[in-house]
Structure 1
């Protein structure tokens, strides 16, 4: 578990969202530790909980596999590579920050990170088996966040409340 999440943490640039397709490939497809549906739920919970998505996801997966010990092992595996990279950058980056080669490297990484995030969104949509109503709700939620700059927490709370109300009326019929 440690090595799997260490690898995920070490080879992912762009933060938690860029890690999602890599976590999915390792945890769902290669290791079969959790199912697709559980992975989608994991991402939903990880996104709505405080903290980075990748760390929250590793906590959930680790706990599912081996309880508290698994959660700690997976979390340390996820965080340790970033710690070492940040430490390295803090020590050596000031010497290279104006180097054109490093500027080009970071400019080259940006579009790849965007592609990783879009890839994660695409995989989540296709694996979630959303109906047309669900897709419309997802698009409205996204537009609310992007256009009106509403915090995702409010969008999640409203979504949960509306679903509960909808189910109450539906069950009465």
Structure 2
């Protein structure tokens, strides 16, 4: 039964996560944290961190992580297959359609109208993660502010925008700051 739930949950994620892994994060959160309660919100943020740090697509890494956590290696295989199956089918169909009708302006208009929705999904995922990092509990009060997380976020944003450092290096530096803060 758990395998069917994993498959159905991640086939929905794979089917409706237009725009890539970051756009899939709210859908994964809805399925994994709110829908089934397989992970807490804190564990979900750990999942995002692990999924971003490991090679491969974030949604697929998330599916694998959740699957292995819930039902071991078979669960990981089922969740991962559920996540990638819709993409394989949809991309194959769209490739045939695009190849046949790529010069039609209506197709270009449809693709152009999808861009704002993808940006909104990515922004929503980013804001929900930022809220979780800055406010340690869901209550948005000044006493719950994680000042180290807020400072690391601001510094990372500044460094990435101003000097365009390698994101992996910035993530490693933020991790080192968190480690030093934990040791002190």
Asked if Structure 1 and Structure 2 have the same fold, meaning a TM-score greater than 0.5 normalized by the shorter chain, the answer is yes
Within a 5 Å distance, the mapping from 1:53-132 to structure 2 comes to 53-128=58-133, 129=136, 131-132=146-147
Which of 8, 12, 16 is the aligned partner of 2:13?
8
How far did residue 78 of structure 1 move? Answer: 0.7
Deviations 1:125-153 (A, max 9, x none): 22332513311211211222233222221
Q: Normalising to structure 1: TM-score of the pair?
A: 0.91
Which segment drifts farther, 111-120 or 130-139? 130-139
Q: CA RMSD in A?
A: 1.5
RCO (CA 8 Å, sep 6+): is it higher in 1 or 2? 1
2:165 is matched with 150
Q: Structure 2 regions of 5+ residues with no counterpart?
A: 1-5, 137-144
Give the paired residue count. 169
Moved more, 94-103 or 143-152: 143-152
Q: Deviations over 1:91-128 (max 9, x none)?
A: 22111212222111111111111111111112112233
- After TM superposition, list the pairs within 5 Å mapping 1:11-30 onto structure 2: 11-30=16-35
TM-score using structure 2 length:
0.86
Q: Which runs of 5+ in 1 are unaligned?
A: none
1:154, distance to aligned residue in structure 2 (A)? 0.8
